[in-house]
């Protein structure tokens, strides 16, 4: 059952990253799609990205919950009661969410939802967390995922499986979403980092 569950989770979690790569790499095509009457009635391109974001988050939570339920023998209650593990998990979740909330605060709705790529003017941000991280929203999300699974599934053998998968997906997404000069800089540490993110 472990490999089947992993295959299902892999398939369900992949579209989020793929859609964001398409939006980042082909914003004109995405804007054209958003201009079609069937899509346009749902809002402008930023609103569409925002709706996709919340839909993907709901799917992500459902996959994580199903994983914990299936691997927890029909229960979502963690098997352990180790306060150190819960404390470390809480630190990861809180740190991740502080980073994510700060990203939303710094960039605003338009900036967070690919506004710079979709033709909106987005002010460049060089303060925390952008002063420390190239992709803070992704780092914050990955920290949160590790914290959730540490609390919910540790010390079981599957506790790190989805966090590793999501870390790989988010790292690949960050690399694939970046403009070509930034991708070259990421691949070559001797070159200066040219981040596409404000």
| Contact between residue 111 and residue 123 where contact means Cβ atoms under 8 Å apart | yes
| Contact between residue 36 and residue 30 where contact means Cβ atoms under 8 Å apart | no
Domain positions in the chain: 2-187
Q: Is residue 134 helix, strand or coil?
A: coil
pLDDT score recorded for residue 180 = 67
The whole-angstrom separation of Cα 152 and Cα 92 is 13
Cis peptide before 155, with omega less than 30 degrees from 0? yes
The whole-angstrom separation of Cα 89 and Cα 81 is 12
The whole-angstrom separation of Cα 124 and Cα 111 is 9
pLDDT score recorded for residue 194 = 36
DSSP labels for 67-79?
HHHHHTTS--S-S
Residue 1 has pLDDT above 80, yes or no: no
Structure tokens at 192: 């200066």
Confidence category of residue 195, pLDDT binned at 50, 70, 90: very low
pTM: predicted TM-score of the whole model, two decimal places:
0.88
pLDDT digits (tens, 9 = 90+) for 16-58: 999 999 999 999 999 999 999 999 999 999 999 999 999 999 9
Residue 196 has pLDDT above 90, yes or no: no
pLDDT digits (tens, 9 = 90+) for 72-86: 988 888 877 899 999
How many other C-beta atoms lie within 10 A of the C-beta of residue 130?
19
Residue 181 has pLDDT above 70, yes or no: no
DSSP alpha helices (H): ranges in 72-135?
Answer: 83-112
The whole-angstrom separation of Cα 7 and Cα 2 is 9
């Amino acid at each position: 059952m472990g490999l089947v569950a992993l295959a299902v989770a892999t398939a369900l979690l992949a579209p989020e990253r793929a859609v964001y790569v398409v939006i980042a790499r082909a914003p004109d095509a995405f804007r054209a799609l958003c201009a079609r009457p069937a899509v346009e009635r749902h809002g402008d391109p930023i609103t569409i990205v925002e709706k996709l974001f919340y839909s993907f988050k709901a799917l992500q939570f459902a996959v994580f919950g199903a994983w914990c339920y299936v691997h927890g023998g029909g229960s979502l209650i963690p098997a352990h009661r180790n306060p150190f593990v819960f404390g470390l998990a809480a630190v990861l979740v809180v740190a991740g969410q502080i980073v994510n909330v700060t990203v939303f605060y710094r960039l605003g709705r338009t900036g967070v939802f690919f506004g710079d790529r979709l033709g909106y003017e987005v002010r460049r941000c060089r303060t925390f967390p952008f002063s420390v991280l190239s992709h803070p929203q992704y780092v914050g999300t990955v920290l949160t995922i590790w914290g959730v699974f540490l609390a919910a599934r540790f010390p079981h053998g599957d506790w790190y499986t989805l966090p590793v998968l999501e870390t790989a997906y988010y790292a690949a997404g960050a690399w694939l979403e970046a403009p070509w000069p930034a991708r070259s800089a990421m691949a070559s540490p001797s070159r200066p980092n040219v981040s596409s993110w404000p």
